Amino acid sequence: MKNFSKLITVVLLLCGGLAFAQSGSGMDKIKSLKIAFITERLSLTSDEAAVFWPVYNEHEDALEALRLRERDEIRNKLQNFRSMSDQQIQNLMDDYLELQEERNRKNTAFLKRMANLISARKTFLLIKAEDDFKKRLLQQIRQRGQ
């Protein structure tokens, strides 16, 4: 599941980069489509939406910050993988595992908070909506490639 999430992230970044190169605002379009998709799937009331979106956006920003840290602190250093000592690689692994644990803590806290804000049912609908959105996005990317 973690590898799939990473694959999705890479695909989204590539898709966003390609769309950005073509239209100048590809990631913004993807985000807008995602917002509309989630809003429709969750059938949020106006009161729910007022508390949902700030928390959701805060969580997305936190995950993006973790992705950037991972890129800066881990992935960039792996370009010199063959010349790294075993101790350097172990330290990098420890850093990577800490980032993964932090991501898991943030996701757990987010899901608990959402369940309290909009209900456990709608929180599960959110999880499903995000997965469905990713599948549709990948499907569209594949269709454009053919």
- Cβ proximity of 40 and 32 under 8 Å: no
140: which 2 tokens?
A: 């569209």
Q: Contacts from 23-32 at CB under 8 Å and sequence distance 24+?
A: 30/137
Please indicate whether residue 18 or residue 138 has the higher confidence score (pLDDT): 138
- What's the pTM? 0.75
Residue 121 has pLDDT above 80, yes or no: yes
| pLDDT (0 to 100) of residue 16 | 44
**pLDDT per position as a tens digit, 33-76:** 999 999 999 999 899 999 999 999 999 999 999 999 999 988 88
76: which 2 tokens?
A: 């960039």
| CB-side neighbour CA atoms (13 Å) of 56 | 20
Residue 97 has pLDDT above 90, yes or no: yes
| pLDDT (0 to 100) of residue 66 | 95
| pLDDT (0 to 100) of residue 91 | 93
Lowest mean per-residue pLDDT among 7-11, 24-28, 101-105, 117-121: 7-11
